Chains A and B, each alone.
Chain A
Amino acid sequence: MQPDSREIEVAVLVSVGRHPVTGRARRADQDARGVEVALTLPGARVRLLHAGPADDGSEEALRGYLGMGLDRLTRVEQPEGADVVPALAQRLAAAPPQLVIAGSRAERGEGSGLLPYALAEYLGWPLVNGLAEVEGIENGVATLLQALPRGQRRRLQVRLPAIITVDGAAPMARQSAFGPARRARLESCAEVAVMDKALGEWTLMPARKRPKRLKIIKAGSARDRFKAAAAKAEGGGGQLLTDVTPEQGAEAILKLLKEEGVLR
């Protein structure tokens, strides 16, 4: 068991987040969770990669990731409004890691969550979304736990190299320590920039509150409308079993549970 063979290269893509209330730049929540996943992975050599303009606000936010216990971050310099996919893809293709971890959606810009998919397409790597945990990596195959709705988990195996994305279901990111964040190195490098023309043509505005859906009741008379508005929720047409033995009742319930697939 040589330590070298168990060591794996992990690149975490990090972006500049946006505080939901104040709108200030911060480390993005999902990306920070991605860093957390990488840091807790045994034998991982983690590097951070960011593409974007170099300015003070973003430096502050990026140092937030460094404060989690990393000593450097590579920033691929890109002008404001550039499509960062080609730059990141080239950067990753030049020195390919075994695992790329990204957040599901950015907190600024279009925030479409398309970037990891575009990278996967470009690099030809498999992608797994909604990751909750990396259980282990062995012989170039990663065993992952994917978060399903309703608190459920699914175990997947994926051949490396691969891209995985994390969202709110991944473990919380650790605190960022100020001193180490100051001391760590923020390296810059250049890459050709491709401008995102389409985004420039769209109209962006602060999110409007979505209208609340009204319960529309189609009824002829006022009495029907009132009845519908005041009605208790009723399944209607339910099956009623009276005068059955407990065994028969239990059988009927078991059948329904199986049909619904909630019984494992």
Chain B
Amino acid sequence: MRENMNDSIRRDPRRAWIARNRLHPEHLSVLAALGEIGGGGAASEWLGPNGVIRRNPHAIGFIGPKGVKRIDRSGTQQGGQAPGQGRQAAQDSRRAVTIEDPAFLVAVVPDMTGGRLSGHDRDLLGLARRLADADPARPGAVLAVIFGEHKDSTLGEAGIDRLLHLEDAAFTGFSPEARLAVLAAVEREFAPHHWLLPDSPLGGADLGRRLALSLDERPATGVWQIEADGEAPLGWRCTARGAAESLDIQRPLPRVALALAECAEPVDETRHSAEPLSLTIEPPRILSRIEDLGQVAVDPAGVALAEAEFILSGGNGVKDWDGFHHAATVLAATEGASRVAVDDGFMARDRQVGATGTWVTARVYMAVGISGAIQHLQGIQRCDKVVTINRDPGCDMIKRADLAVIGDAAEILAALVEQVEQQRAEQHGGVRRDAA
């Protein structure tokens, strides 16, 4: 029987009863057997016959070095607990959900800033799940429409059941007309029950308004709350911000809704299948009246630190400041600094990152010679990727970093600058040859 025992907890009321009954002749042997399963020590907690948790205070604890029994309630010593519990905690706790035959679709068009779901996108997907899962008898599926290349591997965890992924050069940059044509095709083919977009200036706010007008729907914008409402046409009522954030508008939820960040809790208990879908009819090619000439190089030093996308930050470990500034120029990064670098006068006060400086939101934060004091780490909580160059492999910054390179800051920065310049030269050479 022991062989085919899996991780599920098996209750044996008779043995539990014997374990409780200290006067039972088999008491000790049963205790020992239970203890073996639990991994040392006897069972200290079990479910009694009436469904009440029973505890055996004698079974917990251990004999300390001085021969006195000690009970450690901090949770480090887990012996003697119900069998299997310790092992389960280590496992992934998400429940896999597959919706085979959805009653309806909730279409979401996430922004995918930098090819990843943003926090706003995840909140929106949480909202979509609320709409889809409201009635367990009629489960809906969440359909995400994603434009362009993406590098997010957690689409299922974010609550996406169906994924329509469109990769085409037509969707790069500012391409509302091409995207709208796809959404119109989705509408024709899948006729989603709801359309949800983030009300973010980057994309959703613009695309959502265009979509609503082309569907001839009056969208709700700035939605931050929804509640079930039997009287509303779609069964939901929403609260939306209006009049420059000074008004709350309560209205029935329309088919197209543009929601604010934190409109719902992101999905964190389930994993969905993110099954790929495709359009059977290709959306028509639209001749765009708006031409995107690409991003313009802006002076990175002029960008506010709090909203800079790429920050090169220097600390006490930077000795060659000229080299550091040169690297920032070549990488086109906005400069930041730790407090020590600021206090020592190498950087201006408004460049300080951290608790008493600026809380930055960079997508890539590169920390050079910064040890990662808690005051500094607080300031970079919201950064996506952290790269660090440091001499000390044990410092706290390394624990936070996605990529840590151990070595001398000046040498590595110089090598990086050289490689970037070399690559640029090659590219330019190539372009010139093409042009000639």
Question: Which A residues have a C-beta under 8 Å from some C-beta of B?
Answer: 18, 20, 23, 105-114, 117-118, 121, 126-130, 143, 145-146, 148-159, 162, 167, 198, 201-208, 210, 213, 216, 218, 220-224, 232-235, 238-244, 246-247, 249-254, 256-257, 259-264
Residues from chain B with Cβ under 8 Å of A113 in the complex: 205, 209, 221
Which 7 A-B pairs give the minimum distances between C-beta atoms? A249-B405, A250-B415, A151-B303, A223-B75, A250-B416, A262-B310, A246-B411
* Residues 203-218 of B contacting A (Cβ, < 8 Å): 205-206, 209-210, 212-214, 218
Residues from chain B with Cβ under 8 Å of A114 in the complex: 209, 212-213, 218-219, 221
Residues from chain B with Cβ under 8 Å of A202 in the complex: 249-251
Chain B residue at minimum C-beta to C-beta distance from A143: B293
Cα distance A23–B206 when bound, in Å?
28
8 contacts between A and B (CB under 8 A): A129-B205, A149-B202, A205-B250, A206-B246, A232-B400, A235-B401, A251-B419, A260-B364
Quote the shortest CB–CB distance from B318 to chain A (angstroms): 15
| A154 and B173 contacting across the interface, CB-CB below 8 Å | yes
Residues from chain A with Cβ under 8 Å of B408 in the complex: 246
| A238 and B244 contacting across the interface, CB-CB below 8 Å | no
Chain B residue at minimum C-beta to C-beta distance from A223: B75
Quote the shortest CB–CB distance from B108 to chain A (angstroms): 20
Residues from chain A with Cβ under 8 Å of B89 in the complex: 220
Residues from chain A with Cβ under 8 Å of B414 in the complex: 246
| B262 and A108 contacting across the interface, CB-CB below 8 Å | no
Given A107-B243, A149-B201, A203-B251, is A253 in contact with B114 using a C-beta cutoff of 8 Å?
Answer: no
Residues from chain A with Cβ under 8 Å of B243 in the complex: 18, 106-111
| B399 and A235 contacting across the interface, CB-CB below 8 Å | yes
Given A238-B401, A249-B407, is A112 in contact with B296 using a C-beta cutoff of 8 Å?
Answer: no
Residues from chain B with Cβ under 8 Å of A244 in the complex: 405-407
Residues from chain A with Cβ under 8 Å of B291 in the complex: 156-158
| B201 and A130 contacting across the interface, CB-CB below 8 Å | yes
Quote the shortest CB–CB distance from B61 to chain A (angstroms): 16
Cα distance A208–B405 when bound, in Å?
48
Residues from chain B with Cβ under 8 Å of A156 in the complex: 174, 290-293
| A207 and B398 contacting across the interface, CB-CB below 8 Å | no
Cα distance A143–B292 when bound, in Å?
10
Question: Which B residues have a C-beta under 8 Å from some C-beta of A?
Answer: 74-76, 89, 93, 114-115, 151, 173-174, 177, 201-202, 205-206, 209-210, 212-214, 218-219, 221-222, 224, 241-251, 262, 265, 268, 289-298, 302-304, 307-310, 331-333, 363-364, 366, 374, 377-378, 380-381, 384-387, 389, 393, 396, 398-408, 411-416, 418-420, 423
Chain A residue at minimum C-beta to C-beta distance from B245: A207
Among A110, A198, A216, A246, the most chain B Cβ lie within 10 Å of the Cβ of: A246
Cα distance A100–B248 when bound, in Å?
29
Chain A residue at minimum C-beta to C-beta distance from B201: A130
Residues from chain A with Cβ under 8 Å of B418 in the complex: 250
| A117 and B114 contacting across the interface, CB-CB below 8 Å | no
Cα distance A250–B417 when bound, in Å?
8
Chain A residue at minimum C-beta to C-beta distance from B78: A221
Quote the shortest CB–CB distance from B119 to chain A (angstroms): 10
Residues from chain A with Cβ under 8 Å of B310 in the complex: 257, 262
Cα distance A130–B377 when bound, in Å?
33
Cα distance A118–B384 when bound, in Å?
37
A-B contact count (CB 8 A): 254
Residues from chain A with Cβ under 8 Å of B265 in the complex: 216
Residues from chain A with Cβ under 8 Å of B295 in the complex: 148, 152-155, 264
| B412 and A239 contacting across the interface, CB-CB below 8 Å | no
Chain B residue at minimum C-beta to C-beta distance from A129: B206
Quote the shortest CB–CB distance from B18 to chain A (angstroms): 28
| B293 and A155 contacting across the interface, CB-CB below 8 Å | yes
| A223 and B308 contacting across the interface, CB-CB below 8 Å | no
Quote the shortest CB–CB distance from A97 to chain B (angstroms): 17
Cα distance A159–B289 when bound, in Å?
6
Residues from chain A with Cβ under 8 Å of B400 in the complex: 232-235, 238
| A261 and B402 contacting across the interface, CB-CB below 8 Å | no
Residues from chain B with Cβ under 8 Å of A252 in the complex: 403, 405
Cα distance A222–B210 when bound, in Å?
49
| A155 and B406 contacting across the interface, CB-CB below 8 Å | no
| A246 and B75 contacting across the interface, CB-CB below 8 Å | no
| B366 and A253 contacting across the interface, CB-CB below 8 Å | yes
Given A130-B201, A257-B364, A260-B385, is A145 in contact with B403 using a C-beta cutoff of 8 Å?
Answer: no
| B404 and A210 contacting across the interface, CB-CB below 8 Å | no
Cα distance A232–B401 when bound, in Å?
12
Quote the shortest CB–CB distance from B235 to chain A (angstroms): 17
| B308 and A146 contacting across the interface, CB-CB below 8 Å | no
Partner of A232, one of B209, B213, B377: B377
| A148 and B202 contacting across the interface, CB-CB below 8 Å | yes
| B248 and A207 contacting across the interface, CB-CB below 8 Å | yes
| B247 and A153 contacting across the interface, CB-CB below 8 Å | no
Among A127, A143, A232, A260, the most chain B Cβ lie within 10 Å of the Cβ of: A260
| B396 and A154 contacting across the interface, CB-CB below 8 Å | no
| A205 and B293 contacting across the interface, CB-CB below 8 Å | no
Q: Name 12 extra pairs, CB < 8 A, besides A106-B243, A150-B308, A207-B248.
A: A154-B293, A208-B248, A218-B268, A223-B75, A233-B377, A238-B400, A239-B403, A244-B407, A252-B403, A257-B331, A260-B385, A264-B332
| B389 and A249 contacting across the interface, CB-CB below 8 Å | yes
Partner of B406, one of A117, A143, A151, A242: A242
Cα distance A252–B389 when bound, in Å?
11
Quote the shortest CB–CB distance from A18 to chain B (angstroms): 7
Chain A residue at minimum C-beta to C-beta distance from B366: A253
| B404 and A239 contacting across the interface, CB-CB below 8 Å | yes
Among A232, A235, A242, the most chain B Cβ lie within 10 Å of the Cβ of: A235
Residues from chain B with Cβ under 8 Å of A251 in the complex: 419
Cα distance A238–B405 when bound, in Å?
11
Residues from chain A with Cβ under 8 Å of B151 in the complex: 259
Quote the shortest CB–CB distance from B1 to chain A (angstroms): 28
